[in-house]
Amino acid sequence: MQATPHPLPSPTPLAPPRAGEFDARIVSNEPVNAEYRLMTVEVPDGAAEARPGQFFQILCPHSGALQPFFRRPMSIYRIDPAAGQLSFLYKVTGTGTRTMAELEPDATINLFGPLGNGFTLPEDGAPIVLLGRGVGLATMAPLVPFARKAGHAVTAILSARTPELVMSEAEFVDAGANVLAVTDSQGTSAVENVEDMLHGLHAEGRLGALYVCGSNRLMLAAQRVARRLGLFGEAALEQQMACGVGMCFCCVRPFRQGDEIVHRRVCSEGPVFPLLEALEW
Amino acid sequence: MVDLSVDCGGIRLANPVMPASGTFASELADIIELQRLGAFVTKTVTPGKRQGNPTPRVSEVPGGMLNSIGIPSKGVDAFIDETIPLYADYDVPLVVSISADTPDGFADICRRVSVPGVAAVEVNISCPNIEDDGRAFAMRPETTLAVMRKLRQATDLPLWAKLTPNTGEIPAVAQAAEEGGADALVVANTILAMSVDIRTRRASLGRVMGGLSGPAIKPIILRMAYQCVRAVQIPVIGCGGIMTAADALEYLIVGCRAVQVGTATFVHPGAMLTVIDGLEDYCRQNGIDRIADLTGTLSAEAHDASLEWEAIA
């Protein structure tokens, strides 16, 4: 098959807003299922201009014996510049997210951001496919309205353990994505099947660029497909962070750069990276 | 108007607050007004390229952080060509932190970073993350003296020796650094420590052991800074767990000339500026015209129990 590579996107036309530390009023903080919660906050002018793929460092409060020390990096789930609001979809797992879950509407929470580099889109209006699993879906969600606004058709493959755990399907659909859900329980989430789906989408003219987040196996599958078809793609990655701005070098991951393996900081050089340069973890 | 300036180890600082090495980079310029800092202290540079340690490199503990970064470095040549010029436009003294494996290696890199634009050299003879089990030159007075003598011959710039809290004889190490030619001491680096994830029974850090920093270590490092102040004539720069101006004031009162703020910046990017503002407020409220006059004013008066109970009640 003849590969038709899409041109690399030009540098982001709008510089992301300068990062700042501020107190935000909590509008709502509700469970969305047994594991995840959605927090919406009011932010000052500018902060709501954050780009999809960027993140905030959230200062989780102390609560009794739970005393988180570091901020918790969270990617932005929903960006609403008109209302001056941002939302974060988070899984309640440890010290920080547990105290975050206790916060009530009208309480304030200290945020630092927006940080990192967001997603970029291909220049040529190519149709894009998003591939995400688990909390990776939260990172992908704001890319849908962003890409639709820029004139790209969007297909989202959402992967989860069971159909009940496919989060945000409505969020993706409402924003204008064609959603394909794959699950472990239905036996549709295996990487071979996902790769077949991607090839099918390509044959239908729906796959011109590929974005992935939240699963090592899906990232490797996306890389194989992108390499085979010569596609532009990006991967949003995670790593434990401390500072969030590139000073501490805690959050490095290995990347392929020519013949070399190099370390890059996920916070300041990412968290969105060229798909083919990211190495598995 | 409070005079916040201090003379510290061969250079004059507009105020006594600077970053701790490894917690500062030019990226911070996008977030805070760097021009307000007393000095810039760079992340430690080594002679050659270093990749650093495996991940996880960081773990949270109550009141602090464990890290095992392992000094990733692009090497001294790239540092001189790319990093030093980043700070050329600021009217703030630039302190370059260096490390090497041997005394001769230390002397060589010290010579090479002694270039225009550098105000002082901080010698990191205390990193717990690059030698076996935290072994470092500053663990013992003899090795400290040997490396400092080599360094002293290598540069005319002020030399600041960064000591380790992992030694049992910090006053003797402090004296050895002074005898070897240090112009100031930075007290101290991180405390060798570890933690375990009981679900996986794995060490939290990829390298198992790492350095503990943050408010959890402040009382220990404050004690060491106090011991060093009493052991040497050269200025002591306090560095350990400073989150607030109150923490910095404790270091100044026990005799430190200046302070370094590190881990706090990871939580509050503006922490250093908050500390500077808080120092000025304290001086104003207490009728102190020059912050330098506060150094070493630890009171030896008998305790007044009623007042102290009030303060913590």
The answer to whether the Cβ–Cβ distance between B24 and A21 falls below 8 Å is: no
CB within 8 Å of chain A, chain B residues 26-45 = 27-28, 30-31, 43
Q: What is the mean pLDDT of residues A105-117?
A: 95
Instruction: Extract the tokens encoding B153.
Output: 């011959």
What is the DSSP annotation of B17-56?
A: EEEPTTS--GGGGGTS-GGGSS-EEPPPB-SSEE--PPSP
Sheet holding B40-41, edge to edge: B17-19, B258-261, B236-239, B184-187, B159-163, B120-124, B94-98, B40-41
For B51, the closest chain A residue by CA position comes to A263
The answer to whether the Cβ–Cβ distance between A247 and B265 falls below 8 Å is: yes
Q: Tell me the domains of chain B and their CATH numbers.
A: 6-312 (3.20.20.70)
Q: What is the pLDDT of residue A162?
A: 87
What's the CA dihedral at B97, B103, B105, B109 to 10 degrees? Answer: 40
pLDDT tens readout for residues B100-157: 999 999 999 999 999 999 999 999 999 776 655 556 999 999 999 999 999 999 999 9
Task: Identify each DSSP E strand in A123-208 by its residue range.
Answer: 128-133, 154-160, 177-183
Q: Which residues of B touch A268 (CB under 8 A)?
A: 27
Is B263 annotated in a binding site? The answer is yes
Facing residue for A242 by CB, picked from B24, B62, B266: B266
Q: Does A140 have pLDDT greater than 50?
A: yes
Q: What is the mean pLDDT of residues A134-143?
A: 91
Q: Residue A167: which pLDDT band, with cuts at 50, 70 and 90?
A: confident
Q: What is the pLDDT of residue A10?
A: 39
Percent helix, strand and coil across chain A, each rounded to 5?
A: 25, 35, 45
- Give the CA radius of gyration of chain A: 18
Q: What is the mean pLDDT of residues B212-241?
A: 98
Residue B208: CB partners within 8 Å, gap ≥ 6?
Answer: B194
DSSP lists the bridge partners of residue B17 as: B259
Q: Does A281 have pLDDT greater than 50?
A: yes
The answer to whether the Cβ–Cβ distance between B269 and A112 falls below 8 Å is: yes
* Pairing outcome for strands B58-61 and B64-67: antiparallel
Which DSSP letter does residue B139 get? G
Cβ pairs A/B, distance under 8 A? 89
Which DSSP letter does residue B3 get? B
Is B43 annotated in a binding site? The answer is yes
Q: Measure the CA–CA gap between A220 and B85, rounded to whole angstroms.
A: 40
For B42, the closest chain A residue by CA position comes to A247
Alpha-carbon gap: B19 to the closest alpha carbon of chain A (Å): 11
Q: Which residues of B touch A246 (CB under 8 A)?
A: 25, 27
Alpha-carbon gap: A193 to the closest alpha carbon of chain B (Å): 32
Give the predicted TM-score (pTM) of the model.
0.92
Pick the range with the lowest mean pLDDT from A46-50, B69-73, B237-241, B247-251. A46-50
Facing residue for B23 by CB, picked from A20, A70, A248: A248
The answer to whether the Cβ–Cβ distance between A249 and B30 falls below 8 Å is: no
Q: What is the pLDDT of residue A12?
A: 40
Q: Residue B23: which pLDDT band, with cuts at 50, 70 and 90?
A: very high
For residue A255, the one-letter residue type is: F
Q: Residue A13: which pLDDT band, with cuts at 50, 70 and 90?
A: very low
Q: Measure the CA–CA gap between A197 and B171, rounded to whole angstroms.
A: 68
Q: Does B3 have pLDDT greater than 60?
A: yes
What is the DSSP annotation of A19-32?
A: PEEEEEEEEEEEES
The answer to whether the Cβ–Cβ distance between A250 and B267 falls below 8 Å is: no
Is A44 annotated in a binding site? The answer is no
Q: Does B246 have pLDDT greater than 80?
A: yes
Task: Report, as residue numbers or ranges, the catalytic residues of B.
Answer: 127
Burial of B194 (0-12, 13-18, 19+ CB in 10 A): middle
Measure CA A41 to chain center: 18
Q: What is the pLDDT of residue A17?
A: 56
Q: What is the pLDDT of residue B21?
A: 97
Mutating which of A56, A60, A69 best tests the B interface, going by the most B Cβ atoms within 10 A? A69
Percent of chain B with pLDDT over 90: 90
Q: What is the pLDDT of residue B310?
A: 73
Q: Tell me the domains of chain A and their CATH numbers.
A: 20-115 (2.40.30.10), 128-233 (3.40.50.80)
Q: What is the pLDDT of residue A11?
A: 37
Q: Does A238 have pLDDT greater than 80?
A: yes
Q: What is the mean pLDDT of residues A106-119?
A: 95
Facing residue for B24 by CB, picked from A239, A241, A247: A247
Q: Which residues of A touch B274 (CB under 8 A)?
A: none
Q: How many Cβ atoms sit within 10 Å of the Cβ of residue B208?
A: 13
Q: Does B258 have pLDDT greater than 90?
A: yes
Instruction: Extract the tokens encoding A130.
Output: 């998003």
Contact status of B200 with chain A (Cβ, < 8 Å)? no
Instruction: Extract the tokens encoding A212.
Output: 């992935």
Instruction: Extract the tokens encoding B307.
Output: 């007042």
Facing residue for A245 by CB, picked from B51, B60, B269: B269
> Which of B251, B222, B231 has its CA nearest to residue B176?
B231
The CA–CA distances, whole Å, from B239 to B90, B134, B187 equal 23, 18, 5
3-state secondary structure of B255: coil
Q: What is the pLDDT of residue A225?
A: 97
Q: What is the pLDDT of residue A155?
A: 97
The answer to whether the Cβ–Cβ distance between A69 and B65 falls below 8 Å is: yes
Q: Residue A135: which pLDDT band, with cuts at 50, 70 and 90?
A: confident
Pick the range with the lowest mean pLDDT from A254-268, B153-167, B173-187. A254-268
> Which of B60, B69, B55 has its CA nearest to residue B23?
B69
Residue count of chain B = 313
Q: What is the mean pLDDT of residues B162-183?
A: 97
The H-or-E segment that residue B171 falls in is helix B170-179
Q: Measure the CA–CA gap between B303 and B305, rounded to whole angstroms.
A: 6
Instruction: Extract the tokens encoding B67.
Output: 């890290």
The answer to whether the Cβ–Cβ distance between A67 and B62 falls below 8 Å is: yes
Q: Measure the CA–CA gap between B308 and A152, rounded to whole angstroms.
A: 67
